[in-house]
Chain A
């Protein structure tokens, strides 16, 4: 009798697809369709939101964006920013995760404080650092105060270093977040592996290279992909720190798209946005595949 009951339930699956519909509709209508139509719109000349005023422009928008002298600067800056912040967040986040993966006095306080910048909003963070990186701001005055006057800089107005200053702020904000992702990986490692390795006489370095590193690959992979995608999409940190300036020294994809939008060239903005999407996919997907290949099956 019970057997029969169960099989009847199996025919009328207890997992009906109808319950996926709300998520599916919301995501498709408000995320996927706009992304797809953004591709179409990027071939039109759009000055107002009335469909009747759209004029087909072929690849003109792409040509304009690619010819824009700011564009090569923006590509270079976006890539520099993404690479530099990913390296910084992973290196610092990993060191902090290894530090707070121990039990000692104040470890909970530290985890809490390191994660704290992640809850602030980017505009607030940008403006605070804008004040600290001001020529007479806190950073330069501290450097002068401790006798390192030669290291003082116009952090945000020197075109050569401004993009690195922006990257520094991004690293400050998200290092604690990266730390937490990596900490999750560290804590999931079964301590018996270390015990077994100790019995076999492994030293600290060996334990790190042969146990810790391979076993945190899944969280490492996540942290890298999140960081690269976040770095390539950067907008509000740079906008609030430098507005893409001085000149166009710190312009990135995000500010380029924004300036096409605010000057009313919506089609051009869509084209820039599409180029960014292609960039993100071309970089994030192979990275993910490469790092996934390094994960070990247990």
Chain B
């Protein structure tokens, strides 16, 4: 009886997962086709393989440069978010005073209130925070609420006895945080890392304001560029989509176990 219901679940899951995968197959197959074949917008196997041509055209369109820009902005902001929000969440959660609770609310409300991009842009140009550093700073600020929210949740399950023991052993605040607490927060750090990495790597709405010359484009901006200038070259659009998505998909698959266990360990449930 149990065996049959498990087989049914496996079969159902397989069918549903194929449904989820259709757009991915569509992207990959069409990136191998010629312009004419890809214009049919189908899921057939390519009759004529145009793999090398498509990829060399897109590769030579400055996508490597955009990859470097994406890496720079994403890595810088993700590192900053993890560091400043972990340490702030630690202090605010441990204090447990009226003021610290108010501050937590002040930070977490940012999860709901939408960011105001035009005033942000004006302020940054006033502060001479331009291009990459401007984009990284703004994206960092916008993701701090998420970081604080998640770390506060994780810190609740770390006993204060640990802090007291470490303090008795002569730890000061910083070494208590970096050598004792931060390692214990690792599952949450992995979760936050992947969520903020996704947010920032895929960001379109903020970067478009700060990185608005093709020299400064990050990867997601290159897709739109391709679509508007070669609107009928679906093969090239899809090739660009493959190259833009590949880094984050590889990251996702390689860290898939930690991501799933981090996200389901009670992290995001609140």
Chain A complexes with chain B:
yes
B198 within 8 A of A: yes
Q: Is B268 within 8 A of A113, CB to CB?
A: no
Q: Is B9 within 8 A of A30, CB to CB?
A: no
Q: A106-B13, A121-B244 known; A128 and B26 CB under 8 Å?
A: yes
Q: A26-B144, A184-B266 known; A124 and B223 CB under 8 Å?
A: yes
Question: Main SS of chain B's interface residues?
Answer: helix
Q: Which chain B residues in 238-270 approach chain A with CB under 8 Å? A: 238, 241, 244-245, 248-249, 252-253, 256, 259-260, 263-270
Q: A120-B202, A184-B268 known; A23 and B144 CB under 8 Å?
A: yes
A298 within 8 A of B: no
A285 to B114, CA, bound (A): 13
Report the interface size class on chain A. Answer: 35 or more
A116 to B118, CA, bound (A): 32
Report B76-99 CB contacts with A as 1/0, cut-off 8 Å.
000010011101101110110000
Q: Is A185 within 8 A of B9, CB to CB?
A: no
Number of interface residues of B (CB under 8 A): 97
Which residue of A19, A122, A222, A277 contacts B113 across the interface (Cβ within 8 Å)? A277
B42 within 8 A of A: yes
Segment of A31-39, A60-68, A152-160 engaged in the interface with chain B: A31-39
Q: A27-B110, A121-B201, A185-B269 known; A99 and B9 CB under 8 Å?
A: yes
Q: Is B220 within 8 A of A121, CB to CB?
A: yes
Q: Which residues of B does A touch, CB under 8 Å?
A: 6, 9-10, 12-14, 16-17, 20-24, 26-27, 30, 40-43, 80, 83-85, 87-88, 90-92, 94-95, 103, 107, 110-125, 137-138, 140-142, 144-145, 148, 163-164, 167-168, 172-174, 176-177, 198, 201-202, 204-205, 219-220, 223-224, 227, 234, 237-238, 241, 244-245, 248-249, 252-253, 256, 259-260, 263-270
Q: Is B91 within 8 A of A17, CB to CB?
A: yes
Q: Which residues of A does B touch, CB under 8 Å?
A: 2, 5-6, 9, 13-17, 19-20, 22-24, 26-27, 29-35, 37-38, 41, 49, 96, 99-100, 102, 104-125, 127-129, 131-132, 134, 136-138, 141, 172, 176, 180-181, 183-185, 187-188, 216, 218-219, 221-222, 225, 229, 233, 235-236, 240, 261, 266, 269-270, 273, 276-277, 280-281, 284-285
